[in-house]
Amino acid sequence: MQREYACEIFSHLYREYVSEDTRLCFLEFENPFEILILTILSAQTTDVTVNGIRDHLFDCYPDAQALAGASVEEVEAIIRPTGFYHTKARNIIATSLALIDRFGGRVPDTMNDLLTLPGVGRKTANIVLHHAYGVHDGIAVDTHVKRLSWRLGFTDHIDPVHIEQDLLALFPSSVWKYLNFVLISHSRRVCTARRPKCGECIVADRCRCAFRIEK
Ligand code: SF4
């Protein structure tokens, strides 16, 4: 796909979903530690579910020091609604321990350091860098971004690493900050996994999959 064409699609979506006071993150967090832990917990579940257990979790464990010393069973009981809670509880406790042991209790601000933490892949690292530190060197590719990028022809790949590379090559760095948000917004509201609402879609005339997704 040509860059100009992709940017036209982005412009339409940007105008639809972003205004001056738009908050570009779906998770409710107050500091880098919270966005890191919440993003690990957001795998395979909704942001609404994660936001629902946020207060309870951080009331009990407000920082890495507290969570590093938590009992697995007590953490599991709090985060159970997010699914995969056995693995997630171990990962967020192990990540907290790593923050204490290797980073002085702080969440690191580089991709390489973040990727050393248990349960942290490029998607989580990108979200932390975007929202905690304002670093927009990459694009977080979740299930929404993956689906939209393929349907709209931004990529022909299906694995997140290659999709991210395609997006970074296709779009100017000035839009990387917004891409995850606008694609997720359009995915949730219009281009749903099943039965996308192509008849209501503002980029249908530019979409290679318009009216072609099996019902
Ligand atoms: S035209 Fe249909 S498939 Fe294409 S982006 Fe819009 S809703 Fe999704």
Asked whether residue 214 carries a pLDDT value surpassing 90, the answer given is no
Q: Dump pLDDT digits (tens) for 43-85.
A: 999 999 999 999 999 999 999 999 999 999 999 999 999 999 9
pLDDT band at 2 (very low <50, low <70, confident <90, very high): confident
Q: What is the mean pLDDT of residues 135-146?
A: 96
Residue 213 binned pLDDT confidence (cut-offs 50, 70, 90): confident
> Residue 4 C-alpha to ligand 1 middle, in angstroms?
19
Q: 126: CA distance to ligand 1 center in Å?
A: 26
Atom number in ligand 1 closest to CA 212: 3
pTM tops 0.85, yes or no: yes
Q: Tell me if residue 123 is catalytic.
A: yes
| Structural domains of the chain sorted by starting position, each given as residue range(s) with its CATH number in brackets | 3-21+139-206 (1.10.1670.10), 32-133 (1.10.340.30)
103, pLDDT greater than 80: yes
Distances (CA, A) of 77 to 34, 88, 109, 165: 18, 11, 30, 38
Is residue 109 part of the annotated active site? The answer reads no
For residue 191, pLDDT over 70 is answered with: yes
Cβ(72)–Cβ(90) under 8 Å?
yes
Give me the phi and psi of 210, to 5 degrees please.
-55, 130
Instruction: Find the DSSP H helices in the chain.
Output: 3-17, 32-41, 47-60, 64-68, 72-79, 85-103, 111-114, 122-133, 143-151, 160-170, 173-189
**Tokens 């039965």 map to which residue?**
195
For a pocket test of ligand 1, which of 13, 203, 211, 214 has the largest count of ligand atoms closer than 8 A to its C-beta?
Answer: 203
pLDDT of residue 121: 96
Q: Are the beta carbons of 115 and 122 closer than 8 angstroms? A: yes
DSSP state of 83: S
Band of pLDDT at residue 215, cut at 50, 70 and 90 = low
Give tens-digit pLDDT for 147-178: 999 999 999 999 999 999 999 999 999 999 99
Ligand 1 centroid to Cα of residue 39, in Å, is 27
Residues in the ligand 1 pocket, defined by CB under 6 Å: 151-152, 190-191, 196-198, 201, 203-204, 207, 209-210, 213
